[in-house]
């Protein structure tokens, strides 16, 4: 079975994610980029459930799942354990203090010490584990935190999370006579991470595996906490065709709705430009059942207009259009 | 070496002697002095452990879970609301067979909010799969911590050492803090089996998903493991402890029990007060004794049956209650004695939320 894969993988086939799953597809790219010298902390969620059934683990690296909300703190504990074990080996560890907030030097890849990486969904990150993630940021722990963002509690049947978007029809924000779906804005975790002095913050989507790989590699060059948030379409939760994962994930970026960014030490250093003919938000929405009610009422159409405004604002703020002038965007107040 | 120390200070010193790799804790009364002293030991460069400050007890418990999963010795301390906030992780640590050690400076739980001593906190997590010791005095608390690391690592399960908040954490007494050499001799360097911790050279998956096909078997294995520990690893460690340190630790602590017709049964520092009550009652010619439990999980059923043979009546001094039934320890004792001896069992709830337990009060119970 394994021989049919030309390249060796650290994410073995046979897990039971849905066909077309954006998360497990991206997770494979992430883990194969990280390589074997990596310890993964997984939060409860689809990725964990589909890959860790007793006796059938898909992971080729050491993997630990504790609870839904505590991955960031478990990762800190692992890092502390490794620091203790490698006291004599790891001069780098003590020299570059995990607790020093102001200096996050770019030290380049370190071969000897394992990468400690959290792989968590948006429910675990935006909502239930938010406090613990904030604690990890504050401590300045040398951990890469990757959030696979599928904009809801998809594992439990597509309930709304703090990451769900305006207008999304979820099982806890259903559309109806008096409802156009979720009436809340998506929580801005990127701005939060930047505000906490996280030296490397980036976004991407499942449509850009090369971009994901580059960002993972780049992130590892930084000491301190790193936060990468990747939009990963959910087939049943979003109500999309199994062959539309990449298309939907691409439209999320090209419409400007989910800007693909890289922010280093509070400065936006790289953005994915929108095409000359920027697709309208409707192009993105119409492929997904979670937004289909918006096309059926005046109130819904008003929501679509608001969503378009979000896209346009992103284009302006981050300079996403091809002709937009490159300009430095300072997201963080510098001391 | 004998020193005059506050209970918390003694615990911090002895924990450091046990050479933990990672300590993580969050401050809460009456546990604070323990973490403060440990942080100071680290700040003064007298420790080799990594001290991780967290934003909650929930995070602190998660940190020691992660640390222990890398194969290093890990420790935390908490109490009351802190322990309850940790609860989800407490169960998780046991389910993952991680040998962490935690001090619980026993305190009442909210509401109403109350920072003083009883043992509702620890008793509330008795089903989680932790080995649970209770100390009768400061010296015993010190000794039980050394024992705890040994037991945790030999069984492969977490151990909680309970010591009454304020009564044992904030009082000053003469304590024998053992030499580092003796502690090293007793504990040795922790060595975990290959494949039982996170290791890039031997990648394993921890915290996996178990289906209805396997789950019950796994839980029953955990139950068998903790039960077996009483007569094997715990007793063995106690024997070895006596050999190395010259002090005796046992599953129960007795006072004038031999000919007693009425016996007080409890856990924790109430032992001292009860002893005075027994002396007074003995002067009046009443055959009274004490059988305090040093171990709540695994429950020492056989020992209880043996020790209470010939007793007419036992008075269970409960420091925790299962609301809607009775004192938790009463139920436990009844279960142990069921079908064994015909003994009258008196259920007493006493000293909740730090209410003073007076000698006369205990005398009047008989």
Q: Which domain holds residue A58?
A: 2-330
pLDDT digits (tens, 9 = 90+) for B78-102: 999 999 999 999 999 999 999 999 9
Q: Are strands B2-6 and B172-176 parallel, antiparallel or unpaired?
A: antiparallel
Among chain A residues, the shortest Cα distance to B94 is held by A66
| B68: nearest Cα among B86, B89, B54 | B89
Among chain A residues, the shortest Cα distance to B96 is held by A66
pLDDT digits (tens, 9 = 90+) for B243-274: 999 999 999 999 999 999 999 999 999 999 99
Asked if the model's pLDDT at residue A330 lies above 90, the reply is no
Asked if the model's pLDDT at residue A328 lies above 90, the reply is no
Quote the percentage of chain A above a pLDDT of 90: 83
Total structural domains within chain A: 1
CB of B63 less than 8 A from some CB of A:
yes
What pLDDT, on a 0 to 100 scale, did the predictor assign at position A249? 98
Question: Is the distance from CB of B288 to CB of B310 less than 8 angstroms?
Answer: no
A74 to chain B, minimum CA–CA distance in Å?
A: 4
Q: Is A226 inside a domain boundary?
A: yes
Question: Is the distance from CB of A167 to CB of A304 less than 8 angstroms?
Answer: yes
The token duo for B264 is 């007080």
For residue A119, the SS3 value is strand
User: Number of Cβ pairs closer than 8 Å across A and B?
Assistant: 158
Chain B environment of A143 (Cβ under 8 Å): none
Q: Which residue has the higher pLDDT, A93 or A279?
A: A279
What pLDDT, on a 0 to 100 scale, did the predictor assign at position B195? 85
The domain covering B2-245 belongs, at the CATH homologous superfamily level, to: Thiamin diphosphate (ThDP)-binding fold, Pyr/PP domains (3.40.50.970)
CATH number where A10 lies? 3.40.50.970
Q: Which residue has the higher pLDDT, A332 or B284?
A: B284
Asked if the model's pLDDT at residue A107 lies above 70, the reply is no
Question: How confident is residue B337, by pLDDT bands cut at 50, 70 and 90?
Answer: very high
Q: Please state the domain extents for chain B.
A: 2-245, 252-365
- Phi and psi (nearest 5°) for B6? -75, 145
Among chain A residues, the shortest Cα distance to B76 is held by A77
Asked if the model's pLDDT at residue A153 lies above 80, the reply is yes
Sign for the CA dihedral angle at A126, A128, A130, A132 comes to: negative
What pLDDT, on a 0 to 100 scale, did the predictor assign at position A334? 46
Residue spans of alpha helices (H) in chain A: 22-34, 46-51, 71-85, 91-95, 122, 130-139, 189-195, 209-219, 235-238, 245-254, 281-285, 298-318
| A224: nearest Cα among A158, A139, A147 | A139
| A231: nearest Cα among A288, A179, A303 | A288
Question: Nearest Cβ partner of B50 from A42, A60, A83?
Answer: A83
The ipTM (two decimal places) reads 0.96
Yes or no, beta carbons of B56 and A67 under 8 Å apart:
no
CB of B42 less than 8 A from some CB of A:
no
What pLDDT, on a 0 to 100 scale, did the predictor assign at position B188? 87
What pLDDT, on a 0 to 100 scale, did the predictor assign at position A96? 39
A258 to chain B, minimum CA–CA distance in Å?
A: 31
Among chain A residues, the shortest Cα distance to B196 is held by A62
Asked if the model's pLDDT at residue A333 lies above 60, the reply is no
CB of B55 less than 8 A from some CB of A:
yes
| A45: nearest Cα among A137, A139, A163 | A163
Q: Is A43 inside a domain boundary?
A: yes
DSSP assigned state of A59:
B
Asked if the model's pLDDT at residue A98 lies above 80, the reply is no
Q: Is A335 inside a domain boundary?
A: no
Quote the percentage of chain A above a pLDDT of 70: 87
pLDDT digits (tens, 9 = 90+) for B188-235: 887 788 889 999 999 999 999 999 999 999 999 999 999 999 999 999
Beta strand spans in B247-358 (E): 252-255, 262-265, 288-293, 295-297, 313-318, 344-349
Question: How confident is residue A3, by pLDDT bands cut at 50, 70 and 90?
Answer: low
Asked if the model's pLDDT at residue A108 lies above 80, the reply is no
Question: How confident is residue B275, by pLDDT bands cut at 50, 70 and 90?
Answer: very high
Neighbours of A138 (CB within 10 A): 16
pLDDT digits (tens, 9 = 90+) for B36-67: 999 999 999 999 899 999 999 999 999 999 99
Quote the percentage of chain B above a pLDDT of 90: 97
pLDDT digits (tens, 9 = 90+) for A34-66: 999 999 999 999 999 999 999 999 999 999 999
Yes or no, beta carbons of B22 and A78 under 8 Å apart:
no
Question: Nearest Cβ partner of A81 from B58, B70, B209?
Answer: B70
What pLDDT, on a 0 to 100 scale, did the predictor assign at position A326? 66
What pLDDT, on a 0 to 100 scale, did the predictor assign at position A91? 34
pLDDT digits (tens, 9 = 90+) for A170-201: 999 999 999 999 999 999 999 999 999 999 99
Question: How confident is residue B147, by pLDDT bands cut at 50, 70 and 90?
Answer: very high
Supply angle C-alpha B28, B31, B34, rounded to 5: 125
Q: For residue B92, what are the CA distances in angstroms to B64, B96, B219, B259?
A: 12, 6, 12, 44
Q: Are strands A200-205 and A261-264 parallel, antiparallel or unpaired?
A: antiparallel
For residue B174, the SS3 value is strand
Asked if the model's pLDDT at residue B121 lies above 90, the reply is yes
Question: Is the distance from CB of A46 to CB of A154 less than 8 angstroms?
Answer: yes
What does the mean pLDDT of chain B come to? 97
Q: For residue B307, what are the CA distances in angstroms to B133, B249, B333?
A: 18, 16, 12
Residue spans of alpha helices (H) in chain B: 7-17, 32-43, 57-69, 80-95, 120-123, 138-155, 180-187, 215-229, 235-245, 270-283, 301-307, 328-337, 359-365
Asked if the model's pLDDT at residue A92 lies above 60, the reply is no
What pLDDT, on a 0 to 100 scale, did the predictor assign at position B48? 85
Tell the CATH topology of B252-365.
Rossmann fold (3.40.50)
Q: Scanning the structure block, which residue is given the tokens 């510098």?
A: A334
Asked if the model's pLDDT at residue A1 lies above 80, the reply is no
Q: Give the sheet arrangement for strand A267-271, strand by strand.
A: A329-330, A267-271, A261-264, A200-205, A226-231, A144-149, A115-121, A38-42, A63-65, B205-206
Asked if the model's pLDDT at residue A6 lies above 80, the reply is no
Question: Nearest Cβ partner of A57 from B59, B205, B214?
Answer: B205
What does the mean pLDDT of chain A come to? 90
The token duo for B150 is 């040994």
């Amino acid at each position: 079975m394994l021989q049919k894969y030309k390249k060796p993988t650290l994410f073995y086939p046979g897990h039971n994610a849905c066909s077309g799953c954006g998360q497990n597809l991206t997770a494979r790219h992430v883990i194969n980029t990280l390589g074997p010298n990596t310890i993964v902390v997984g939060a409860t969620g689809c990725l964990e459930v589909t890959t860790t059934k007793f006796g059938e683990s898909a992971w080729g690296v050491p993997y630990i799942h504790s609870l839904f909300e505590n991955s960031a703190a478990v990762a800190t504990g692992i890092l502390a354990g490794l620091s203790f074990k490698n006291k004599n080996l790891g001069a780098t560890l003590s020299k570059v203090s995990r607790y020093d907030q102001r200096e996050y030097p770019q030290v380049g890849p370190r071969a000897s010490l394992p990468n400690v990486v959290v792989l968590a969904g948006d429910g675990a990150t935006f909502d239930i584990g938010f406090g613990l993630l904030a604690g990890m940021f504050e401590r300045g722990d040398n951990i890469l935190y990757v959030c696979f963002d599928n904009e809801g509690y998809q594992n439990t049947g597509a309930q709304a999370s703090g990451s769900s978007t305006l207008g999304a029809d979820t099982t806890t924000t259903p559309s109806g006579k008096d409802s156009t779906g979720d009436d809340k804005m998506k929580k801005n975790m990127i701005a939060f991470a930047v505000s906490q002095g996280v030296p490397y913050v980036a976004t991407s989507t499942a449509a850009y595996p090369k971009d994901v790989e580059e960002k993972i590699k780049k992130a590892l060059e930084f000491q301190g906490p790193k936060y990468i948030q990747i939009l990963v379409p959910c087939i049943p939760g979003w109500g999309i065709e199994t062959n539309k994962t990449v298309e939907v994930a691409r439209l999320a970026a090209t419409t400007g709705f989910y800007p693909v960014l890289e922010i280093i030490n509070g400065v936006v250093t790289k953005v994915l430009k929108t095409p000359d003919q920027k697709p309208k938000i409707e192009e993105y929405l119409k492929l997904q059942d979670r937004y289909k009610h918006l096309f059926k009422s005046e109130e819904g159409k008003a929501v679509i207009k608001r969503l378009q405004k979000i896209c346009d604002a992103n284009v302006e703020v981050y300079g996403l259009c091809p002709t937009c002038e490159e300009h430095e965007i300072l997201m963080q107040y510098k001391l | 070496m004998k020193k005059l120390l506050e209970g918390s200070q003694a615990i911090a010193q002895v924990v450091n002697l046990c050479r933990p790799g990672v300590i993580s804790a969050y401050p809460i009364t009456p546990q604070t002095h323990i973490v403060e002293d440990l942080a100071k030991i680290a700040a003064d460069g007298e420790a080799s452990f990594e001290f991780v400050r967290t934003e909650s007890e929930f995070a602190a418990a998660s940190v020691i879970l992660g640390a222990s999963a890398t194969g290093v010795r890990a420790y935390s301390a908490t109490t009351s609301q802190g322990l309850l906030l940790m609860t989800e992780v407490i169960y998780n640590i046991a389910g993952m067979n991680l040998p962490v050690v935690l001090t619980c400076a026993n305190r009442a739980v909210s509401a109403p909010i109350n920072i003083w001593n009883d043992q509702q906190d620890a008793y509330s997590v008795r089903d989680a799969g932790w080995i649970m010791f209770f100390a009768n005095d400061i010296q015993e608390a010190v000794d039980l911590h050394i024992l705890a690391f040994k037991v945790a690592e030999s069984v492969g399960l977490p151990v909680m050492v309970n010591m009454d908040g304020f009564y044992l954490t904030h009082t000053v007494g003469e304590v024998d803090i053992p030499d580092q050499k003796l502690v090293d001799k007793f504990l040795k360097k922790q060595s975990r089996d290959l494949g039982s911790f996170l290791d890039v050279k031997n990648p394993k998956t921890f915290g996996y998903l178990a289906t209805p096909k396997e789950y019950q078997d796994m839980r029953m294995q955990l139950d068998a493991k903790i039960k077996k520990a009483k007569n094997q690893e715990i007793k063995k460690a106690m024997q070895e402890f006596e050999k190395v340190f010259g002090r005796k630790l046992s599953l129960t602590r007795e006072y004038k029990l031999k000919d007693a017709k009425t016996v007080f049964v409890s856990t924790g520092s109430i032992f001292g007060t009860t002893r005075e009550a027994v002396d007074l009652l003995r002067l009046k010619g009443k055959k009274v004794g004490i059988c305090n439990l040093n171990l709540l999980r695994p429950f020492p059923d056989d020992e209880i049956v043996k020790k209470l043979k010939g007793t007419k009546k036992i008075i269970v001094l409960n420091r925790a209650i299962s609301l809607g039934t009775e004192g938790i320890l009463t139920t436990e004792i009844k279960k142990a004695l069921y079908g064994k001896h015909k003994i009258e069992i008196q259920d007493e709830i006493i000293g909740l939320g730090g209410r003073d337990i007076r000698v006369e009060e205990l005398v009047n119970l008989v």
